[in-house]
Chains A and B, each alone.
Chain A
Amino acid sequence: MFEALFGRLTWDSIILVQAVEEPNINTLITAGAAAMMPVGGVMIVALLTWMKWWKPLFEWLTSVDHKKIGTMYIIFAVIMLFRGVVEGILMRTNQAVALNGGFLSSDHFNQLFTTHGTNMIFFVAMPFLIGLINVVVPLQIGARDVAFPKLNQISLGLTAAGGFLFMISLMVGEFSTGGWTSYPSFTGRLINPGVGPDYYILAVGISGIGSTLTGVNFAVTIYKMRTAGMNFMMMPLFTWTALCTSILLIFAMPPLTACCLMLGLDRFLGFHFFTNDMGGNLMNFINLFWMFGHPEVYILVLPAFGVMSEIASTFSGKRLYGYTGIVAATMCIAVLSFMVWLHHFFTMGQSATVNAAFGVATLLIAIPTGVKIYDWLATLWGGRIRFTAPMIYLCGFFVLFTIGGLSGVILASPTLDYQLHNSLFLVAHFHNVIIPGVLFGILAGIHIWFPKIYGFRLMESYARITAFLWAIGFSLAFLPLYQVGMMGMTRRTVAYEDPALVPWMVVSGVGALILGLAFLFVLLTIFFSVLNRKKLAVPFGDPWDGRTLEWWTPAPAPEWNFAVLPKVDCRDAFADAKEKGAAYQPIEKYEDIEMPGNTYYGLIIAALASGLGFGLVWYMWWLAIVCFLGCIVTVITYAFLPQRKIIIPAAEVREIDEAWRRAAREGMGITRDDESNEANKGLARPDILPNP
């Protein structure tokens, strides 16, 4: 009876029990980390109750507003980034002292590198980027919301369910030790029968479905909901990269869902997809995984490149150089990204012909990427560069990401990959393109668009220090790993025997600690900005003298985004209007605005998907079946429930909008000299700049 109820879950599965029964540094670290969850949960509940924030919380959780959903994605990602940074610090400090053995057990280290990678890709980077896309794209194309707002909420719910499974594995059971790539047959049911790989399959598989749906949502939004007059070649670059990212999500996530499903069938039902025996073939998993995995890294980097485009033009006060070229390059990258997956396993024994073909294809991708970097530098040429935090991120990107590009080209050659595959050189390469590429783009993007959501800027001083800390921390933590990789050290090892590696490892460990400090400064930036929000307020909505449509609304942006959907006839329509002095002209006709109402749909799906995953992991079949049927019942029920709509009367819209426009017409505004101080209220005055 107990077994039917609890499956293979026992008291010993709970880490707190393990830490009491067998206290050692590994169980204590894990128990401490796990304990943060209930403790944090209790603290949050207490805070919500004291501040009477329950109602606003549920308004957010049931909202289908893209701005709120995007913000929730980003908050989720920040919390998961905290865990990811801690995991990284643990690993790098362990390796600094790991000559012949460090302070972590092998099993703990193995879980750490698996959770670190899985977390950072699926629960940090993707939610951050999807969050930014959510917040910005509808505003940039002049729309009220995305094409399918309820689906958007469901995507968030599925991502959260995956995150829940990932986090609960810290407390109950353990996570996989097979790396974020989870290769069978190591993760097959014979070698690793425990709950770890099952947690992986379900966390990644469930959140993957959410990401696929996001791709569909934004592809349709960008295709069908651009405002009147905006053809494709007038879209801002961030929207272009969001479109390409969406297409990648639509076509690249299914292979991941498929191989997780197949591995699950192997593990749960004894199928022979990837087993060693009876015709199973583990190479199939590797092919499927990387058919997802390579486009995935472009899913991560393309939106970051979009942010770089925005930074380059906005903070040098110029049009973007080479718009058409950058669009073409982005599309080339998107298409080519499907043709290079084999470079992740050059050493698997394919013929030289196959390896050479994929090697050349990989080199080809370097071309459009390089062109984009040159285009951004050319954008700065002839500009008036302002050293805000986003500009610091851009410059750090130029210098550091390019090194990552160099190491990527090196790895693209099968000859060299035979030496460097699975070494720390590889680890250095991908962190080199993810941190100065993806992370810098994310942090810069948050800095740029935060005022649009919350109505106040982030403090420049703290933000700049944060940027420098990330750059320095990254450099110290990862550049030495190139050398160590060339010296022959392999990845995913808890310890090593060669004393020559120690000095490099120590430097790397110090770098990891600085990265921890950088993360702390992210939190401090937000904290002190909130404290000073009145001084940092930018109610007119245009703190950076922006060029694109999202800056043509007040800040915080109203729920309906635009009182009247703008009509455009050129690129950078807002900059154009400002130049003509026509940015805040009064509008004659206002109409009622209809917005979708709140719903519990996403929240319910999130809860049911979490239960489904947990039930499958622990063999609690009753729970899995109930939750699965519950999902079906929920979908059918919502098909019959009336769709809630909110009507905002034209008079209310007119009142808010007219007040904003009038104040903007009458206001003085600031030049860019005052961009980083209190005088910046979000209203821009033309910058008359003398030439030398």
Chain B
Amino acid sequence: MSATTRKSLHPGLNLGEEHGDDHLEAETSVFGFWVFMMSDLVTFGMFFIIFASTAPLACCPGPKELFDLGSVAWQTAFLLASSLTSGMAVLTLKQEHGSRNATTKNLVFWLLLTALLGCGFLYREISDFISMAAAGAPPTRSGYLTALWSLVGLHGLHVTGGIIWCLVIVAGVLVRGVDLRWKLALLRWSVFWHFLDVVWIAIFSFVFLGGLL
């Protein structure tokens, strides 16, 4: 089981042999991050289960009054697009940064675009939360609203963290160059970012669409 004869050392996009030793070093680091993501998935799962066990109360505004499907569609568009741009960033990393000589221009472009789209997502989501609170549906109102705000909010907090992480990586590659550490950080961050997309699809389906059915 020689490492150099296996192209794929960990799930997801691998750096590939052009990256030499960096490709080998990525195995443990990225695999470990996937494992960590499994635990995060379980955490989200718990919030999903709690949400599934609640039902809107008659006394308070419910999904029909509160959910703005147009806004949710925008959020989905922003997030899915950002997943695409994050994939472009990693492809750029793989194809352009096998040696240490390439310019970081393209990489930084895709990363900043991803962060921007993520901010678009957050802007719409926070606006929605504010209008829900104004409509008399803050999280302190009922079990259903608590679960709704917490599940969607937990995801939003993860997105916020992902944007900050993205900007730190931009700073890192600009200041330190695209060396092993920042390559690994980028690979891990992209797993995280795609994961957030997957969780959003579940939220979008079960919480928003499901709530309106």
Contact = CB atoms under 8 A, between A and B. Distances in A.
Interface stretch (A30-38, A195-203, A271-279, A304-312): A271-279
Given A279-B54, A640-B175, A273 B28 contact: no
A225 B32 CA distance: 12
A253 B39 contact: yes
Interface in A215-254: 215-217, 219-220, 223-225, 250-251, 253-254
A224 B38 CA distance: 17
Interface magnitude class on chain B: 35 or more
Given A250-B38, A254-B39, A278-B142, A224 B172 contact: no
A212 B38 CA distance: 11
A329 interface: no
B76 interface: no
A148 B188 CA distance: 14
B135 interface: no
B168 A636 contact: yes
A281 interface: yes
Contact of A216 (B36, B53, B142): B36
A284 interface: yes
Given A220-B32, A223-B31, A224-B28, A254 B144 contact: no
Interface magnitude class on chain A: 35 or more
Interface in B35-68: 35-36, 38-40, 42-43, 45-47, 49-50, 53-55, 57
A255 interface: yes
A679 B74 CA distance: 77
Contacts of A643: 181
Nearest to B54: A279
Contact of A278 (B47, B57, B149, B185): B57
B45 to A, nearest CB: 8
A101 interface: no
A148 B142 contact: no
B197 interface: no
Contacts of A636: 168
Given A147-B28, A216-B36, A262-B150, A272 B143 contact: yes
Contacts of A273: 50, 143, 146-147, 150
Contact of B50 (A217, A219, A284): A284
A147 B32 contact: yes
B57 A279 contact: yes
B100 interface: no
Interface string A123-153: 0000000000000000000000001100000
B40 A254 contact: yes
Nearest to A275: B143
Interface in A606-639: 632, 636, 639
Given A225-B28, A269-B139, A272-B143, A639 B172 contact: yes
Contacts of B150: 262, 265, 271, 273
B187 to A, nearest CB: 14
A148 B57 contact: no
Contact of B31 (A213, A220, A271): A220
A643 B39 CA distance: 27
A258 B32 contact: no
B140 interface: yes
Contacts of A684: none
Contact of A255 (B35, B42, B149, B175): B42
Nearest to B57: A279
B125 interface: no
B146 A259 contact: no
A279 B42 contact: no
B96 interface: no
B32 A148 contact: yes
B27 interface: yes
A288 interface: yes
Contacts of A553: none
Contacts of A632: 164
A135 to B, nearest CB: 21
A223 B31 CA distance: 10
Contacts of B146: 265, 271-273, 279-280
A270 interface: yes
A257 interface: yes
A225 B28 CA distance: 9
B176 interface: yes
Nearest to B42: A254
A255 B36 CA distance: 14
A280 B147 CA distance: 9
Nearest to A231: B1
B141 interface: yes
A225 B31 CA distance: 12
B168 A639 contact: yes
Interface string A60-96: 0000000000000000000000000000000000000
A615 B11 CA distance: 40
B142 A279 contact: yes
B38 A257 contact: no
B24 to A, nearest CB: 11
Nearest to B35: A216
Given A147-B28, A271-B140, A640-B176, A220 B35 contact: yes
A255 B39 CA distance: 9
B39 A215 contact: yes
Interface in B150-171: 150, 164, 168
A270 B138 CA distance: 11
B133 to A, nearest CB: 13
A639 B145 CA distance: 38
A271 B139 contact: yes
Contacts of B28: 147-148, 220, 224-225
Interface string A511-534: 000000000000000000000000
A269 B140 contact: yes
B140 A216 contact: no
Contacts of A219: 35
Given A265-B150, A288-B46, A643-B181, A278 B143 contact: yes
Nearest to B139: A271
A281 B143 contact: yes
A270 B143 CA distance: 11
Given A280-B146, A639-B181, A216 B50 contact: no
Closest 10 CB pairs of A and B: A279-B143, A258-B46, A254-B42, A220-B32, A254-B43, A271-B146, A272-B146, A270-B140, A279-B142, A272-B143
8 contacts: A147-B28, A224-B27, A250-B38, A272-B145, A275-B143, A279-B143, A280-B146, A284-B53
Interface of B: 27-28, 31-32, 35-36, 38-40, 42-43, 45-47, 49-50, 53-55, 57, 139-147, 149-150, 164, 168, 172, 175-176, 181, 185
Interface of A: 147-148, 212-213, 215-217, 219-220, 223-225, 250-251, 253-255, 257-259, 262, 265, 269-273, 275, 278-281, 284, 287-288, 291, 632, 636, 639-640, 643
Given A258-B46, A281-B54, 4 more contacts: A250-B35, A269-B140, A273-B143, A279-B57
